[in-house]
Amino acid sequence: MKSLALAAEILGGAAVVVTLIFLVLETQENTRAIQAQSYLALTSQLNRLRESLLDPEVASVFTKGMLNRDSLASPADQLIFGQLFEAAFAIYESAYYARQKGIR
C-alpha cells in the first residue's frame, strides 16, 4: 500500500514538472510572437508615415519645417509639420525601446 502511494506521489510530482516545462515553453513562444507582432506594428507605422510623405504638399511642408521651422507660414503647415515630426519621433522612440528589450 505504501509503495502504491509512493508511486502515485512520484507520478504526481513528475506530472507537475512536465506541466511546468510545458508552461515555460509556451510562455517563451508567446513572448516571441508578441515581439514579432510589436516589430510588425512599428514597421507598419513607419511605412504609413513614409506613405504620407509621398504627397508632394506634405513632403514640401515637412522639408521646409526640417530646414527651418520658422519658414512655415500658415498654422495648418505648422500643424502638419508638428504632427509628422512627433509621429516620426514616437515611432523611432518605440523602436529604440523595443531594441533595448531585445525585440528585433
**The predicted structure's pLDDT at residue 63:** 93
**pLDDT for res 2:** 77
83-90: long-range contacts (C-beta < 8 A, 24 or more apart)? 84/49, 84/52, 84/53, 84/58, 87/45, 87/49, 88/49
**Confidence grade of residue 43 (pLDDT, cut at 50, 70, 90):** confident
Does the pLDDT of residue 25 top 80, yes or no? yes
Query: Which pLDDT score is estimated for 55?
Result: 93
